[in-house]
Each structure stands twice: as C-alpha cells, then as structure tokens.
Amino acid sequence: MIRLSCTRGNLYTGLSITSHLPVKNVNLPILNNVLILAKNGTIRFTSTNLELAVSCQIRGKVEEEGECTLPSKLLFDYVSLLPNERVDFLEEDNHVLRIECGTFKTKIKGLPATEFPLIPPVTAETAYRIKGEVFRRALSQVLFAAASNEARPELSGIFLHFRSGKNGEKEAVFAATDSYRLAEARVEVVLDGGPEETSVIVPARALAEVNRILSVFKDDVESPSDLVIRLSEQQAVFSYGTVELISRTIDGKYPDYRQIIPQAFQTEVVVDRDDLLKAVKTASLFSRAGLFDVTVRFDPEGTASVTAVDASRGENTTSCPAKVSGPVQSISLNYRYLLDGLQAVETEAVRFRMIDGSNPCMIEPEGSATPYQYLIMPIRV
C-alpha cells in the first residue's frame, strides 16, 4: 500500500513531463495511465505509448513503498487546480488512491501496476553531451521540416549525425526534410564514449517530446545545463537531470541530402527578417487555396517584393528594402514553408541565395556564428 507526500510544485512538474504522451492504442487502457513508483526514498513517474517512454523523478517523502497507476490526464488536470501546499497520497483497496491537499480531497481509481508495460534498461556504449538550451534551439530549427506522414519512414524522423568538425571539435548535425524543403543545424557536442562518428534517425514526434520537456525547465534556474544522448543499436536515450526519455530509432538509410544543396548562386540578398516576414504574411492573404503560392522578387536597385494573386479575391504586392547582389530574380514558393524558415532564423537579418526561379533557394542567418541552412524547392506554375 503506497503512502507518500510531496509539494504540489514537484508533483506538477513530474506530471507535466510524463502525462502528455499521445496514445493511439485503445485496446490497452493501461497506456493512458502514469506509473507512480515509490522506492528507496524516491518518487518516479513513468508513462509510455510503446514507441517511447518517459520518466521523471521528483523529491518527496516516502512513508510506505509501492507502485500504482492512475489516469495521467485526469491526475494532471486535477493537480493543476490544487493550491501550493503539501500533497498526500494513500492507496486504498481496489487500486483507489486517496489524494489530499489542504481542503482538497479526492479519490481516483487506477489500474494494477502489474499491467503496466515493462521498460527494460538500455545498454549503450555511445554517448554525447550537449547544452540543453543549445539542443532545444537546434531542434526548433529543424523539427517542422520533417515529413508528417510515414510513407517514407526515414523522412518522418530527424537525422542526427555526430562527427568531427572542421577545427577538430565534435559537432552534431540535425537535418530534416519532407522532400519539399530541407533544414540543417549544426552545434558543438562533447563525446562521452563511443566512436568518433555515428548517425541515427530518431522519430520527429520523440524529439518533439524532448523539446517540450526542455521547455518545461527553460526558466528554472536549478535545471541541469547538459542533455546526455546515449545510442544503442535500435534505441536512443535522452537524459536531462532526473528526466529520461527512451525512443526507438528508425531503420533505413537517410537520403544524401547534401547533393541537392547548390554550391554556387547567381543572386544573394540580405534583408531585414521582420520586414520580409511581414511582407510574406501580407501577401499570403491573397495566395491561392491549396497551392499557397507567393512570388518573391529581388531587384538590384534595392528591393525585395512578395506578390500573390487570387482570381476570386484580388492581389497584393508588399515590398521592403534589401541589399541585392546579382541579376533580378523571382521565384514562386509555398508561403508556409517560407514563413517556417524565416521564423527559425534568430538573427535580425537573413541572407537569401538563389540561382534562378527553377532551382531551390537558400535561407541562412546573417552574421550568426551558429551554422543553419534552410532550403526550399520552388513551385512550378
């Protein structure tokens, strides 16, 4: 019979990390529950959807060791309404857990902990260490470019390539593509053991969960600084302090995307990021439904303009100042893809490079020490 207590803040943090996994298997109701394990003076929450598992240890007082499972969403929603006081848990008969916090008292019916899937430990010889905030920033720059369906499973994941950089430092390359656009970010890492170079494809939804977990701790001054990535043959483990996420990896070979990146360009443009963002958003109001097309035109006289025409609604052209080197160029792009790339760039100005309207164009941050590339294929109209 489990008996424990903890602060509402610690409880809320643990559940905010473990109660959001999407579950599609309606035949296994236990997957909708979070496992609460009180053992050796520690409290650990674990949830899984059979594709990935996430666990979080919190501080608290364990009076009687044990384990139980409760509906994760219901428990999280209830805890979010509790006052910032001590929360007491006491297991009763038939897997019912009594929860008390100040004047709040409730009973929640759970399921036997023996039904919860066993999550075996992962043995990994390869490990890398990276700053949590650096990892979160790099992920946010590539996640949106992964394919949303699994027609080609490898494209529904993020390609992580660990290698030696130009100056001998270790770096991690994050890449994602859905065959219409490509995003690549590079950051420094520390090798904690294993081969000098390795690569893996991790499901985008698993890394989106890692990104969400890191965001939970973003403003916590006590949060750990480093994220540790451990790789085994078929699994990847992401550890951040007392939080651990285990995900399967995707079998298959990631396409050699480097061969589609142009090595030379005809026109280069430096333009204020916010100005171009506003121009694209304005023109997008008149783009054709289903095609989402806008035409971007660069003039050496010093303007970047974005135009969209819809026969049933009208047309719009919005211009902004730009530094243009090379001949006049125009290209038709999916405005949603263009906005994604511009919003991923963190510098005040962006560099836009292109060959002509029938070849992919490149967006890069202007004046940033952190390498980032975003490639968009043109719309052929």
Cβ neighbourhood burial of 301 (10 Å; 0-12, 13-18, 19+): exposed
What does DSSP say about strands 235-240 and 226-231: parallel, antiparallel, or unpaired?
Answer: antiparallel
- Per-residue model confidence as pLDDT tens digits over 20-42: 887 777 789 999 999 999 998 89
Take residue 318 and report the two structure tokens written for it.
């919005």
Please tell me the predicted confidence (pLDDT) of residue 73.
94
- Poorest-pLDDT segment among 149-153, 159-163, 358-362, 370-374: 149-153
211 close to 238: Cβ distance less than 8 angstroms: no
Asked if the model's pLDDT at residue 324 lies above 90, the reply is yes
How large is the average pLDDT for residues 56-76?
A: 95
Asked if the model's pLDDT at residue 343 lies above 90, the reply is yes
Share of the chain above pLDDT 70, in %: 99
CA distance 335 to 338: 5
User: What number of other Cβ atoms are within 10 A of residue 289's Cβ?
Assistant: 8
* Residue 351 backbone dihedrals phi, psi, to 5 degrees: -105, 125
CA distance 276 to 280: 6
How large is the average pLDDT for residues 288-301?
A: 95
Distance of CA 28 to the CA centre of its chain: 27
Please tell me the predicted confidence (pLDDT) of residue 381.
66
Q: Domain coordinates of the chain in residue numbers?
A: 3-115, 126-257, 261-376
CA distance 186 to 175: 9
- Per-residue model confidence as pLDDT tens digits over 140-195: 999 999 999 888 999 999 999 998 877 778 899 999 999 999 999 999 999 888 78
* Structural domain 261-376, CATH architecture: Roll (3.10)
Please tell me the predicted confidence (pLDDT) of residue 287.
95
> 233: pLDDT confidence band, cut at 50, 70 and 90?
confident
- Per-residue model confidence as pLDDT tens digits over 258-281: 999 999 999 999 999 999 999 999
Looking at CATH, the fold of the domain delimited by 126-257 is given as: DNA Polymerase III; Chain A, domain 2 (3.10.150)
Strands (E), 50-145: 52-58, 61-64, 66-71, 86-91, 96-101, 104-109, 126-131
Between these two residues, 332 and 125, which has the higher pLDDT value? 332
- Looking at the DSSP assignment, which residues form a beta bridge with residue 294? 333
* Structural domain 3-115, CATH architecture: Roll (3.10)
Q: Which helix (H) or strand (E) holds 336?
A: helix 335-344
Asked if the model's pLDDT at residue 219 lies above 80, the reply is no
